[in-house]
Amino acid sequence: MLESDAVAAAIAAHGPEDAEKFVQEVIWRGYFKGWLERRPQVWHSYRSGLEADVAALDRDRRLRRDVDRAVNGQTGLTCFDAWATELVDTGYLHNHARMWFASIWIFTLGLPWRLGADFFFRHLLDGDAASNTLGWRWVAGLHTRGKPYPADAQNIATFTAGRFVPRPSDLAEVPQGLEATEPDGLPSVLPLRRVTAPQAGRPTALMITDEDCRIEDFDLAALDIRTAATWTASHLRSSLPVSDLVIQFEAGALADAAQRAGFTATAMRADDPAALAKWAMASGATQIATPYVTCGPLRDWLDEAAPFLANHGIAFCEWRREWDTAIWPHATAGFFKVKQNIPRILEHALPA
């Protein structure tokens, strides 16, 4: 199901007023994706900062001990430890728990936020580079600068229906966020990346990734498809081990996507960037077609592969959905600008 399908179904079932909050939550995902597309520098800063944080784990035994306790659910804080265990065991956490967990990780435990974001990204079945990175930055007071999210004991007790009742003294006060760690502020907004659409009739290699598993929505019949492959990329999420649950989930989603689209697809792994050009060349394809790949680890890998494609005259082509096209131009600052435009977004992007 696409975001537009979920929104259309909610409005049809409950009406626009009762579905309003749900619609906003779904659009947050598109907003975060668009925001990171407009500021890819933030993603690259996260990746380089994470590399430094992971290296620090090797040097700093105390940091390594504290992170190990946190990810293994051994901090002694009952709610946090339960959420850590739930994430590892299921690949999922409720949105409220994600925010509380991130706030406690950053402000109560005093751990590097990128290592926490990486822990989520390695374990969440719905792990998304934009939502995960910017969600952690939002909690830290780096996204909406100067407005961190404090985990509140009463809030946790209320919204877990008394399952967890931490004492206020268990949680750190949060007078300010981490904005002092980025004194230069947010980078400039960049234009959206230019998209090259597939050319009809041109020999084509069809690339299926977990960026978009509804490949059958696009005009495949217009293409001269010589080969199709599913490309696994979950291992690119981190230099640390990615959860087996995530890897299995991705494999199942890709196999299902290829089957629904009617292709017997070769299973490929995004490792050597040169392999992308070799795969296309082996079939005689002169263009690779795939749904739009947003800013994140797979996009980084494709950027590494770009020179190999160019050297062999292979065009990399993408389809971008109307849903993203409608949201992303507004995703330049806070969510309010997108929220104001939701009626226009829905008018433009929902199926008639």
Residues 88, 72: Cα–Cα separation, whole Å = 9
What's the N-to-C CA distance of the chain in angstroms?
17
Residues 331 and 315 in one domain: no
Residues 314 and 207 in one domain: yes
Residues 161 and 60 in one domain: yes
* Structure token digits, residue 178: 């981490």
Residues 233 and 349 in one domain: no
Residues 157 and 208 in one domain: no
Residues 15 and 63 in one domain: no
Residues 26 and 67 in one domain: no
The owner of tokens 């996260």 is 46
Hey, what amino acid is at 14?
Answer: H
Domain range for 153: 47-178
Residues 78, 164: Cα–Cα separation, whole Å = 7
* Structure token digits, residue 279: 């795969």
Residues 278, 315: Cα–Cα separation, whole Å = 13
* Structure token digits, residue 32: 């975060």
Domain membership flag for residue 193 = no
At 309, which CATH number? 3.40.50.620
The DSSP call for residue 313 is T
* Structure token digits, residue 42: 């933030």
Q: Is the dihedral of CA 155, 158, 164, 165 positive or negative?
A: positive
Query: Which residues have CB under 8 Å from 148's CB, separation 6+?
Result: 103, 106, 107, 139, 140, 141, 174, 176, 177, 178
Helix (H, G, I), strand (E, B) or coil at 319: strand
Predicted TM-score of the model (pTM): 0.96
pLDDT tens by residue, the chain, 352 residues = 899 999 999 999 999 999 999 999 999 999 999 999 999 999 999 999 999 999 999 999 999 999 999 999 999 999 999 999 999 999 999 999 999 999 999 999 999 999 999 999 999 999 999 999 999 999 999 999 989 999 999 999 999 999 999 999 999 999 999 999 999 999 999 999 999 999 999 999 999 999 999 999 999 999 999 999 999 999 999 999 999 999 999 999 999 999 999 999 999 999 999 999 999 999 999 999 999 999 999 999 999 999 999 999 999 999 999 999 999 999 999 999 999 999 999 998 887 6
Helix (H, G, I), strand (E, B) or coil at 189: coil
Nearest one of 35, 268, 248 to 133, comparing CA atoms: 35
Q: What does the buried/exposed string (b/e) look like for 261-282 if buried means 16 or more CB atoms within 10 Å of the residue's CB?
A: bebebeebebeebeebbebbbe
Q: Is 244 buried (19+), middle (13-18) or exposed (0-12) by CB count in 10 A?
A: exposed
Number of domains in the chain: 3
Please count the residues of the chain.
352
Residues 281 and 342 in one domain: no
Q: Cα dist. 245→6, 43, 300, 331 in Å?
A: 24, 24, 23, 32
At 162, which CATH number? 1.10.579.10
Residues 139 and 54 in one domain: yes
